[in-house]
Amino acid sequence: MSGVRVLVGTRKGAFILTSDGKREKWDVTGPHFAGWEIYHMKGSPADPNRLYASQSTGWFGQLIQRSDDGGKTWTPAGNKFVYDGVPGTHQWYDGTPHPWEFARVWHLEPSLTDPDTVYAGVEDAALFRSSDGGQNWSELPGLRGHGSGPHWQPGAGGLCLHTIILDPKNPQRIFIAISAAGAFRTDNGGQTWQPINNGLRSEGIPNPTAEVGHCVHHVAMHRSKPNVLFMQKHWDIMRSDDGGDSWKEVSGNLPTDFGFPIDIHAHEPETIYVVPIKSDSEHFPPDGKLRVFRSRTGGNEWEALTDGLPQKDCYVNVLRDAMSVDTLDSCGIYFGTTGGQVYASKDAGDHWVPIVRDLPAVLSVEVQTL
């Protein structure tokens, strides 16, 4: 029987949870890289035993770790992230120009076909790529060279490139998202990029419909429908049916449309999941009830999923990279909280159980179906 491996990045180390296909008993290993922030871990679709992890602290900076045995052992790879050419400036919080400075890797996206190729989304926002297993990194400078870079401004968490989506049907097409610049797309393998924010409306910026400046929190795509994108913006759930050329709001009957993660059922491309958060100033679930909301209609009509989730006195957050799905016949949904729990549902969200409790604050959750 196949199994599942859940890669959990936390504020104080990495944890790996494994189970067989029943998903009832979980083995937990870790902390790996104890004491370090693990913003993200992800496995290669081309070789599930090849894992990459982003390890950092404010003291000693950034490391990239690589495993070739599914996380049993790790080897430090390259950590030299140098912006291409003269880095230039972006806007600082007060609107003044601020030099581009590397802070950390937020997201690692392994190639769909080559275990040695992996993309890194970093703060200050830029996209890097390694084609030698993470040893050497080069910026794809066309993104910051788009021309709008000097106008990008950091969100509360920093000017971070946090979402990277590789189009499974068109290897030349990549989507990325930056907080708070917006979403961008390349159709030529990263040489040139265009903002894809038409239809987004953000009241917190001077021009609510500006080409760039939107605080996009996360974007998801189902591999069978690469032109359909779902977005959790700062506020608003958005949907695009044309590869990001235009967006429409599908927040519908959600109790609040603020939140961070968004993900899609493995076998139902119109079934999507979000975790509504009260507001941008109160990062916890409304009414102390932790509820995942599911839409089976690609948005607009949402149902609360609560069975097994705390429905009183719960004030955790779920961060943007902390939700993932498996691809077993009955799709499993997983998410981690800032309270250190990882919840799983093996029936597409109908029932939930904590598969580990009391970890450090969870930053990311990725699932591999083995």
Partner 1 sequence: MTQSIRVVLPAHLRNLAGVDGEVTLDVEGEVTLRAILAELETQYPVLQGTIRDHVTQKRRPFVRFFACEQDLSHEPPDTPLPEPVVRGAEPFLVVGAMAGG
Where do contacts with partner 1 occur on this chain (CB under 8 A)?
Answer: 35-36, 57-63, 76, 79-80, 82
H or E element at residue 217 = strand 216-222
Closer Cβ to partner 1, 12 or 42, answer by number: 12
The span from the CA of 65 to the CA of 362, in Å, is 18
Q: For the chain, how far is it from start to end, CA to CA, in angstroms? A: 9
Q: What's the min distance (Å) between Cβ of 38 and partner 1?
A: 13
Closer Cβ to partner 1, 30 or 261, answer by number: 30
Contact status, residue 216 vs residue 175, Cβ threshold 8 Å:
no
Q: What's the min distance (Å) between Cβ of 59 and partner 1?
A: 4
Strand 160-166 with 138-139, pairing: unpaired
- Sequence-ordered list of residues with C-beta below 8 angstroms from that of 298, at least 6 positions apart, any chain: 228, 230, 239, 250, 269, 270, 272
The vertex-68 CA angle with 66 and 69, nearest 5°, equals 125
Q: What's the min distance (Å) between Cβ of 108 and partner 1?
A: 17
The span from the CA of 81 to the CA of 102, in Å, is 7
Q: Render 44-74 in DSSP notation, one character per residue.
A: ETTEEEEEEEEEEETTTEEEEEEESSTTSS-
For residue 124, whether the previous peptide bond is cis, meaning omega lies within 30 degrees of 0, is yes
Closer Cβ to partner 1, 81 or 235, answer by number: 81
Q: What's the min distance (Å) between Cβ of 34 and partner 1?
A: 8
Q: What's the min distance (Å) between Cβ of 71 and partner 1?
A: 17
CA 107 and chain centroid, separation: 7
Closer Cβ to partner 1, 60 or 92, answer by number: 60
Closer Cβ to partner 1, 56 or 179, answer by number: 56
Q: How far are the Cα atoms of 46, 219, 295 from residue 163, in angstroms, in the given order? A: 20, 7, 22
The span from the CA of 22 to the CA of 328, in Å, is 10
Q: How many CB atoms lie within 10 A of CB 330?
A: 14
Q: What's the min distance (Å) between Cβ of 79 and partner 1?
A: 5
Q: What's the min distance (Å) between Cβ of 355 and partner 1?
A: 27
Q: What's the min distance (Å) between Cβ of 142 and partner 1?
A: 21
Three-state SS for 258? strand
Closer Cβ to partner 1, 58 or 95, answer by number: 58
Closer Cβ to partner 1, 10 or 111, answer by number: 10
Closer Cβ to partner 1, 62 or 317, answer by number: 62
